[in-house]
A and B are shown apart, each in its own frame.
Chain A
Amino acid sequence: MALTGRAGLLAALAAVAVLLAPRPGLALAGAGLVLLAFILTDLALAGGVRPLRFERGGDRLVRLGQTATVELVATNPGRRRVRGVLRDAWPPSAGAAPRQLVLDVPPGESRRLAVTLSPTRRGDRESVKVTVRSLGPLGVAARQGSHEVPWSVRVLPPFLSRKHLPARLARLRELEGRHPALVRGQGTEFDSLREYVYGDDVRSIDWRATARRHDVVVRTWRPERDRRLLIVLDTGRTSAGRVGTAPVPPAGTPEHAMPPGWPRLDWSMDAALLLAALAARAGDRVDFLAYDRAVRAWVSGASRTELLSSLVNVMAPIEAELVEADSAGMVAAVLARAKRRCLVVVLSDLNAASLEEGLLPLLPQLSSRHLVLLAAVSDPRVAAMAAGRGTAERVYDAAAAERLMAGRRAITARLRRHGVEVVDAPPEDIAPALADAYLALKAAGRL
């Protein structure tokens, strides 16, 4: 049960009556009885909450930064009208609105209610309970009860870097020789023979075929297709650090309470999605592995059209684990899964200490069989700190930042000596930088 403000107001008014009444004791008792009678009447005549039936429908998936609508159909099988308020309880980060819905269901009828979710972070959001407060006819007291109506909405990574995809696809087409300007394909794999058209590079004329066919025939080249790409996402503790500014800030967050950026993990996911989209269009096979001390996610053999959706689906619930990543286990997992030579893209951090102890000693195992590319998100705040001057405080901070940057440079140099490609870019640039690195490798025929 629940009371309304009217009950309190009536009791307060009764206090005035008691004060002025000639027999205040009797007046007090009378007021109490009247109030009790009102409350009991309301409780008795309010529509029942327990027999209500609920059904849900609506969105199951939503990209972070967009809004989902979840519908709730309330059916009233009872004999009394259910009039009051309803709250569909969701976790705070689901951003459910409005907080309360007005409910008015006549007996035997149904009403459709809609809750809008604007999630503030990735992951699965489950509804908790539906609570109904059914007011009595006098509006003094209400019946209250809850129902469990399960529904979950998966909040997918936003894939913000898809704005970079058209430019990269254009470069890809250029590489494949399908560019309108008839530039000779830069690939190294023989594609087909076709008739010479005006403007073709004369160096690509295949004289042997020309002699056979009594027509000038050119060879076309294209980059290798059907190469393998394995994207490895490090979900260990280094991926929890927040960098940059969150591109999807929680709605209504005041400036000072803004979360300090996005986790490295989310930036890495963004870059992985752009790379996967590009590689799928380029005709390569893309596999995905998320690993810290165990396999968090594994996507293999997805078709070109399904790749992106299955990737965002498995990425959605992944959170950074606050444990040191197990590099040996990761290398073993990669070697067990990638039987044939492939490009292994490791999305991690260029943390000198953890790399020296973890990945560096194991790199030969990996790089002897595969081409390894390590992509890391750098912290723009460190760069800003390195430029700090003026006071001793800021200069000391700048020195600390310089030291970290020198450490990153040193580890980058060591990795390159091991034959590992390294992409180190600030959060906003990591996705296009990784895509460009991939295109460069493809153009060079190193895949």
Chain B
Amino acid sequence: MTATSPTVRSIWRGGRGPLLVGLIVLAVAVGGVLLAGIGGGGRSLDPGDSTLAGSSGLAELLRHEGVRVERVTSADAAARAATAGSLLLVTDLSFLRQDEVDRLAGLPGDRLLIGPGAMHPSLAPGLAPLSGTEDTARVRSREPECALPAAVQAGSAYMGGYSLRGPPGAIGCYPADGRPTLVSYQRDGRTITAVGDGQFLTNLRLTEDGNAALGASLAGTRPTLVWLTAPETLPELPGPEGKSFTELMPAGVSWAVIQLVIAVALVAFWRGRRLGPVVAERLPVVVRAAETVEGRGRLYRARRARDRAAAALRAGALHRLMPRLGLVADSGHDAIITAIAVRTGQDAGQVGTALYGGPPADDAGLVALAAYLDTLERQVRDS
């Protein structure tokens, strides 16, 4: 038999080792993921998140101090929880619609706005609008340099980010380049505090400097803290009649897409299956014999070796001229120059310079020399 295709048995024999290794790798990966628990990547400044980006540490600290921490993820929930004696902590507004933000602005109680995502004119009236990245300062440990009791008590804290400018009468703390990154002021009978960056509240930074004290002092001013954070899953954007895009799509489309994927896979297998092996061949080396000469030419050019180039050209020209002049190689220079001058009618001095002179001063001189030698050869040949 001449067949060389693998049989089912030979495929199994050859493939079981790699298959086993693959299965082990898969099992380890799945097991590792299951053991580690399905934790999302940290949700920034979430009081219920215990990763380094979350703020569960601060929430726990506040609960210890007797503050009721209400974690809310929507404007509705915030409105239900907020009272005149509560503090609304906002870190992000990107998941709220404009009417929801306006509703938040109408809620009673104090406000603590953390980070640029929470700065909204309706939530922080009078605060200067932020513009561009030139207002961003590096986040690092900074001194309070102000009279705000919470800041004085806490001392240095991990602050920076957006620099702020409050309305007249506002207290600005933790200045970066002379502009405060924490602003606190009174407006309509409530205290509004805005902070340029929220990193000092995260579990990562809470234990450094006076971060914990500052966070607790800022967030723990009222018996109830309403902590607004982004929901885990954003609600789908409702289209007309309250239907989202996927709801409007016919049910068959997603199935048809699956079928198309199958079709593409089949076409890929059809095109990808080779008829027979790829044949490799040991090829001879391909190198032009003239390569060394070309390399030498480039070396001459790179080094501007006009002396050597001129000498080679002169030697070549003389070799071709000699037999035509009836001279031999060891004839004297003068005899050769005279013979050429007589044959061609050229000036003997010029011929002598061309054949035995110094190297040309520049590349143009070399080109001219080559052309002149050619002329001499042609005239001797034709005469």
Contacts and interface: CB of A to CB of B under 8 A. Distances in A.
Say if A and B assemble together.
yes
Interface of A: 2-5, 7-8, 11-12, 14-16, 18-21, 24-25, 27-28, 31-32, 35, 49-54, 85, 87, 89-93, 100, 121, 128-131, 133, 144-149, 240-243, 259-261, 263-264, 319-320, 322, 379, 381-382, 385-386, 389-393, 395-406, 409
B304 to A, nearest CB: 9
B3 A400 contact: no
B276 interface: yes
Contacts of A19: 250, 252-253, 255-256
Interface in B283-309: 283-294, 296-301, 305, 308-309
Given A395-B313, A403-B296, A147 B370 contact: no
Given A2-B273, A402-B313, A260 B284 contact: no
Nearest to A243: B289
B5 A392 contact: no
Contact of A14 (B263, B277, B281, B301): B263
A406 B312 CA distance: 8
A32 B312 contact: no
Nearest to B250: A19
B372 to A, nearest CB: 11
Interface of B: 1-5, 250-256, 258-260, 262-264, 266-267, 269-270, 273, 275-277, 279-281, 283-294, 296-301, 305, 308-310, 312-313, 315-316, 319, 363-364, 366-367, 370-371, 374
Contact of A389 (B250, B283, B293, B374): B374
A144 B275 contact: yes
Contacts of A397: 293-294, 297
A51 B366 CA distance: 76
17 contacts: A4-B270, A8-B264, A12-B267, A15-B263, A19-B253, A24-B251, A28-B259, A133-B275, A147-B2, A242-B286, A242-B289, A392-B363, A395-B366, A400-B293, A400-B297, A400-B300, A402-B312
Nearest to B259: A15
A342 B305 CA distance: 47
Q: Which 7 A-B pairs have the closest CB atoms?
A: A241-B289, A131-B276, A11-B263, A399-B309, A8-B267, A145-B5, A397-B297
Contacts of A11: 259, 262-263, 266-267
A91 B3 CA distance: 20
B370 A31 contact: no
A129 B316 contact: no
B300 A399 contact: yes
Contacts of A4: 270
Residue among B260, B266, B370 facing the most chain A CB atoms (10 A cut-off): B266
Residue among B273, B276, B308 facing the most chain A CB atoms (10 A cut-off): B276
A263 B275 contact: no
A91 B286 contact: no
A408 B266 CA distance: 65
Nearest to A122: B284
Residue among B3, B253, B256, B289 facing the most chain A CB atoms (10 A cut-off): B289
Contacts of A87: 275-276
Contacts of B315: 402, 406
A320 B300 CA distance: 30
B275 A85 contact: yes
Contacts of A91: 279-281
Contacts of A8: 263-264, 266-267, 270
User: DSSP class of B's interface residues: helix, strand, loop or mixed?
Assistant: helix
Contacts of A406: 312, 315-316, 319
Contacts of B288: 241-243, 260-261, 381
Contact of A89 (B266, B279, B287, B367): B279
A391 B297 CA distance: 13
Given A8-B263, A131-B276, A18 B310 contact: no
Contact of B270 (A5, A49, A52): A5
Contacts of A146: 3-5, 276-277
A100 to B, nearest CB: 7
Contacts of A389: 367, 370-371, 374
Nearest to A322: B285
A259 B283 CA distance: 12
Given A393-B297, A399-B300, 4 more contacts: A8-B270, A390-B367, A396-B298, A404-B296
Contact of A399 (B251, B269, B277, B310): B310
A400 B296 contact: yes
B376 to A, nearest CB: 13
A385 B313 CA distance: 12
Nearest to A264: B289
Residue among B250, B269, B280, B297 facing the most chain A CB atoms (10 A cut-off): B297
Contact of B287 (A3, A242, A409): A242
Contact of A385 (B4, B285, B297): B297
B277 A401 contact: no
A82 B300 CA distance: 67
A144 B273 contact: yes
Contacts of B277: 89, 128-129, 131, 146
B290 A385 contact: yes
Given A8-B267, A24-B255, A240 B285 contact: yes
B309 A131 contact: no
B319 A24 contact: no
A338 B294 CA distance: 40
A397 B186 CA distance: 86
Nearest to B275: A87
A3 B266 contact: yes
A19 B276 CA distance: 38
Contact of B301 (A20, A21, A242, A392): A392
Contact of B260 (A12, A130, A385): A12
A38 to B, nearest CB: 11
A149 B300 contact: no
A385 B293 contact: yes
Contacts of B316: 386, 402, 405-406
A404 to B, nearest CB: 5
Residue among B287, B305, B310, B363 facing the most chain A CB atoms (10 A cut-off): B287
A14 B261 CA distance: 11
Contacts of B366: 392, 395-396
Nearest to A409: B319
A443 B349 CA distance: 49
Contacts of A260: 286, 288
A240 B284 contact: yes
Contacts of B281: 91-93
A398 B312 CA distance: 9
B297 A401 contact: yes
B5 A144 contact: yes
Nearest to A386: B316
B320 to A, nearest CB: 10
A402 B308 CA distance: 11
A259 B250 CA distance: 60
B195 to A, nearest CB: 52
